[in-house]
Amino acid sequence: MADRTADSRPGALAAATGWADITARWMTEALAEHHPDAEISRVDLAMRDDGTNRRARFDLTYAAGSGPGTVFLKRAERAHAAVNLRNGTLFIEPDLFASRVPLPVDHPLMYRVVIDRPALDFTLVMEDVTRRGADPRDSTRPMTADQVAHGLRGLARLHSRYWGFSATTHPELAWMQTWEPTDGFSSGLRTFVPRGLERGVNVLPARVAAHSGDEVVDLWARYVGTLGRDPVTLLHGDAHIGNTYVLPGDQVGFLDWQVAHRGGWCQDVGYFLVGALTVEDRRQHERALIAEYRDALDLPEQARPSIDLAWLRYRASAAYGLAIWLSTLGTDGWQRHEISLALTERYAAAFADLDTPAALVGLSA
């Protein structure tokens, strides 16, 4: 991981303005902290995928020394930078990795972080986890219950490390935002959730289809409003299956930390668990998996949520995934239709099965 102050000073390794700027010299400097003897002679663009951020994989050839054969780069997308800045998410991932705080869950090694705040830009140079045998997943390739259990144990390690953290206990994360239902976020949901309800009508239980778009967003806002209550922890914040990979031995890692926040553990746990399993597997295994997560927390027993409270918070969490994926389903080009539809169906089924509105009332009592 890189020191963010070093990479923010004039004269430091500059943020690239395009993939053509990723030269052999630039990449040699980017890898120097981890591979000081490496000298790269050639950089070849192997893959690019430009969406809400720009992503690319590069093949590396070495004139001297050694290092990774490929690296993965992520950059800000100018068309979305202003929106991400307004939502407070533009620099979360680069700031998190630049802070060098330990993240005790599998994630890509970060070779270099370059931040250019005035230009609303950043460049992340990171490990290509597929070279460790990682299998990136999405909703069309759900996990098994055992794989989800591995992922929950990883989240428990992360959450335990930062349980109850604040600017006082972790000043290096004093900038980290606490989850709250911001106007910017909710206004986007109110625009696209109604269209998602129309497009997903064939997979929505009657208890979900009966809600208007505004009602879905209101429930989302009520749920997010509970995430700032103690105890809070460091959250991945966007732990849906599309931001995960499965390693040999069924260990699970997490990509894309752009929405990391300070908040309640159930945000990560519910969002991951419901989205990573088929509806039937979730129904069969969810109680045991919530108990698995709770037992994996490295905390005194009195600091852990009671099993009843854990189950209540989990039931409420479906409000988040339902609104997010109805909104995504209502957009064009953000995610493939089949991915959005599958996740909409899973969160909608959980919303109905778990009586999420009643759980939210229970949390307010």
For each of the domains in the chain, give its residue range(s) and CATH number, in order of start.
4-131 (3.30.200.20), 133-364 (3.90.1200.10)
List alpha helices for 31-178, DSSP H.
Answer: 78-86, 92-98, 145-161
State the pLDDT at residue 79. Answer: 65
Which is higher by pLDDT, 184 or 113?
113
Q: Which helix (H) or strand (E) holds 216?
A: helix 213-224
Can you list the pairs that 34-41 forms with residues at least 24 positions away whose Cβ atoms lie under 8 Å?
34/67, 34/109, 34/111, 35/65, 35/66, 35/67, 35/68, 36/65, 37/64, 37/65, 37/66, 38/62, 38/64, 38/65, 38/66, 38/67, 39/63, 39/64, 39/65, 40/67
**Interatomic CA distance for residues 117 and 112, integer angstroms:** 16
| Higher-scoring residue by pLDDT: 14, 235 | 235
Identity at 1, one-letter amino acid code: M
**Which string of DSSP letters, residue by residue, matches 18-47?**
SGGG--HHHHHHHTTTT-TT-EEEEEEEEE
Categorize the per-residue pLDDT at 14 as very low, low, confident or very high, splitting at 50, 70 and 90.
low
For the cut 70, the answer to whether the pLDDT of residue 279 exceeds it is yes
Q: Is the pLDDT of residue 12 over 70?
A: no
pLDDT confidence bin for 15, thresholds 50/70/90: low
Assign 9 a pLDDT band (cuts: 50, 70, 90).
very low
Q: Which amino acid is at 256?
A: D
Tens of pLDDT, residues 91-116: 999 999 999 999 999 999 999 999 99
Give the least confident one: 118-127, 235-244, 308-317: 118-127
Pairwise pLDDT comparison (126 vs 8), residue with the higher score: 126
Q: Which run of H or E residues covers position 262?
A: strand 261-263
Per-residue DSSP letter, 301: G
Residue with the bigger pLDDT between 20 and 225: it is 225
Tell which wins on pLDDT, 138 or 15. 138
Say if residues 263 and 178 touch (Cβ distance below 8 Å). Answer: yes
C-alpha of 161 from chain center:
18
C-alpha to C-alpha distance for 47 and 68, rounded to whole angstroms: 16
Angle between the 356-364 and 337-353 helix axes, to the nearest 10 degrees? 60
Tell me the pLDDT tens digit for each residue of 284-318: 999 999 999 999 999 999 999 999 999 999 999 99
The predicted pLDDT at position 182 comes to 86
Whole-structure pTM value: 0.93
Please write the tens of the pLDDT for every residue from 248-261: 999 999 999 999 99
Average pLDDT, the chain: 92
